[in-house]
Amino acid sequence: MDIFTAIEERYSYRGPMEKSPLPREDLRKIVECGLKAPSGKNAQTTQFVIIDDANILEELHKLHPANKAMQQAPAMIACIIDQHAEKIYEGYDFQLEDCAAATENILLAITGLGYASVWIDGWLRVDQRAEKVAQLIKLPAGKKVQILLPVGKPLEQGPRREKKTFDQRACFNSYAG
Ligand SMILES: Cc1cc2nc3c(=O)[nH]c(=O)nc-3n(C[C@H](O)[C@H](O)[C@H](O)COP(=O)(O)O)c2cc1C
């Protein structure tokens, strides 16, 4: 799949997934795409925990009753940031930006291989969910699960969200409001 098709085809999938395990080769290939993303000062701060262990998945599946992909995914990728990051440029760190760039690469790779996913981030921020996931994957203190990505073969077509048009969001040379 070429890059433009992958961008077009990617969408947040929250529906049922095939439960059979994913080849580690594919999971590795997907995360390798995350490693190639740009990062502030090339610090490459995001770390990844790829979860395909049946016992850990069983616990993760219980956490999100409203999302079938989260209940059924045969693999998940936890994108990890450092909570006490070093300020690497003029008093700034780029943990969140690095993580977001890596995540988008990963989502495109997931799409390119015919799998589906959804960027789980807001949901992690309430009810200590990020902490619960951190415990399951044995994150050391100071590390945080910023984004969780269920990965699997979709069993149906999910709804596609409408995107604003070019003219609504972009312009050349000066801001068109
Ligand atoms: C920063 C961020 C946080 C998100 N958090 C969640 C989340 O917690 N749960 C969820 O189901 N989707 C989450 N999403 C997915 C968005 O809801 C989704 O990208 C948006 O509705 C557009 O749909 P699309 O991905 O199909 O284009 C998040 C996306 C981003 C970029």
Look up the CATH number of the domain holding residue 43.
Answer: 3.40.109.10
177 domain-assigned: no
Q: Which residues span the domain enclosing 139?
A: 3-169
81 domain-assigned: yes
73 domain-assigned: yes
Matching residue, tokens 């700034």: 92
CA 99 / ligand 1 centre spacing (Å): 15
Query: For the range 94-97, what are the long-range contacts, defined as Cβ-Cβ under 8 Å and sequence gap of 24 or more?
Result: 94/39, 94/40, 94/41, 94/43, 94/45, 95/45, 95/46, 95/146, 96/146, 97/39, 97/40
DSSP 8-36: HH--B--S-B--SPPPHHHHHHHHHHHHT
174 domain-assigned: no
Residue 177 has pLDDT above 80, yes or no: no
127 domain-assigned: yes
109 domain-assigned: yes
47-51 β-sheet, strand order: 47-51, 75-82, 143-151
pLDDT value for 115: 98
Q: pLDDT tens digit string along 138-154?
A: 999 999 999 999 999 99
154 domain-assigned: yes
Query: Among residues of the chain, what percentage have pLDDT more than 90?
Result: 97
Nearest Cα residue to atom 4 of ligand 1: 121
- For the chain, the domain total comes to 1
3-state secondary structure 101-114: HHHHHHHHHHHHCC
Q: How far is CA 49 from the centre of its chain?
A: 11
CA 123 / ligand 1 centre spacing (Å): 10
The pair of structure tokens assigned to 119 is 């960027």
> Which residues lie with the beta carbon below 6 Å from any ligand 1 atom?
11-12, 14, 118-123, 161
Q: What's the whole-model pTM score?
A: 0.98
Q: pLDDT tens digit string along 71-112?
A: 999 999 999 999 999 999 999 999 999 999 999 999 999 999
Average pLDDT score over residue span 41-60: 98
> What value does the mean pLDDT of the chain take?
97
Most informative mutation of 9, 119, 129 for ligand 1 (most atoms within 8 A of CB): 119
Residue 65: pLDDT band with limits 50, 70, 90: confident
49 domain-assigned: yes
pLDDT value for 176: 81
